[in-house]
Structure 1
């Protein structure tokens, strides 16, 4: 399992399950600090027909993180080779509106709320 972690967060790629899991609170300062996470997300698309992004444990994501996630969704749409599922939680307020907005960027995106 490939993982990144920092103060209050963890991002893990579970290659066997075709899943990237993000948990905790991501408050990194600007898009450049999200670079390693962005690279992990991009590389997770390589050679996969489907990928799940599990955000059910991600309690907070700042605007730079939402921008990073949006850029990733656009990249997945443009590559058009990998079906994308994003799992969110009904119990985490920011996820409802923010994740639904991603459907505008990639209509084929599947959203699942637990």
Structure 2
């Protein structure tokens, strides 16, 4: 599964259950995030033991994107057998500020700062 535009690239590696985000997600409204949310829902429906979101190369994510990923985390939380990890980068400012809030949504979420 893959979504590729001139601004961002999102791909899923089923061998590691990792969804990698690259580029900038500056979509103007929540409806524009529907294809991404669909990809994430398909990943969650498989119910792997652990889903990893690799955000290390995601330079920018606007509030609509943060909201979309927050909703996804809540949906994964409902699947008691699925653990979740988020890989982030220290060099990208928005990640340090925003990602800790996701641990409030899913206390078992593992934040991996690289």
TM-score normalised by structure 2 residue count: 0.95
1:55-66 correspondence to structure 2 within 5 Å: 55-66=55-66
1:1-114 correspondence to structure 2 within 5 Å: 2-45=1-44, 46-114=46-114
Q: CA deviation at 1:15?
A: 0.7
Which stretches of structure 1, 4 residues or more, deviate above 3 A after TM superposition? none
- Unpaired stretches in structure 1, ≥5 consecutive residues: none
Q: CA RMSD in A?
A: 0.8
TM-score normalised by structure 1 residue count: 0.95
Structure-2 separation of matches of 1:81 and 1:105 = 16
- Give the secondary-structure state (helix, strand or coil) at the position aligned to 2:48: coil
